[in-house]
Amino acid sequence: MTSKVTYLGDLRTESTHLKSDNSFYTDAPTDNNGKGEAFSPTDTVATGLASCMITVMGIKARDMGVDMTGTTAHVTKTMASDPRRISKIEVVLELPFEANTKTRKILERTGNTCPVHYSLHPDIKKDITFNWTK
């Protein structure tokens, strides 16, 4: 097993990663009867895309001798209705390190082929921006 999710009541869950025992909470969003005091389940999906992209890019960068420390991603999730679902995920990556054109192309391709990207339904629009600041 990978994780355990426990319903805590009042539209909140606790998710625990079984190998590490790390946990996080989710709340239903305010536009869906919740308090919105934590990530919503759909927030975790959208955020998972950015996290996955940075992780696989970090693996590739390390193999290439490139330090990606300080890289950030800003995530915006858009919901649709009927049925309620994620319709769009925008990820803006800020990459504050030196990289030549070839390295940038390799890292961008790596990020755009992460497992979460491939796992998301094709109807979800993925708008990815790479901002190289150096």
Specify the CATH architecture of the domain 40-132. Answer: 2-Layer Sandwich (3.30)
**What pLDDT is attached to residue 102?**
98
DSSP string, 61-102: HHHTT---TT-EEEEEEEEETTTTEEEEEEEEEEE-S---HH
This prediction's pTM:
0.95
Question: What is the band of 65 on the pLDDT scale with cuts at 50, 70, 90?
Answer: very high
pLDDT at residue 21 greater than cutoff 90: yes
Sequence spans of domains, the chain: 1-39, 40-132
pLDDT at residue 111 greater than cutoff 90: yes
**What pLDDT is attached to residue 7?**
98
Mean pLDDT (whole number) for 2-19 = 98
Question: What is the band of 80 on the pLDDT scale with cuts at 50, 70, 90?
Answer: very high
Mean pLDDT (whole number) for 45-63 = 98
Q: Which residues in 18-71 belong to E strands, given as ranges?
A: 23-27
**What pLDDT is attached to residue 82?**
93
pLDDT at residue 36 greater than cutoff 90: yes
Q: Which of 89, 81, 82, 74 is nearest to 121 (CA)?
A: 89
pLDDT at residue 134 greater than cutoff 90: no
**What pLDDT is attached to residue 35?**
95
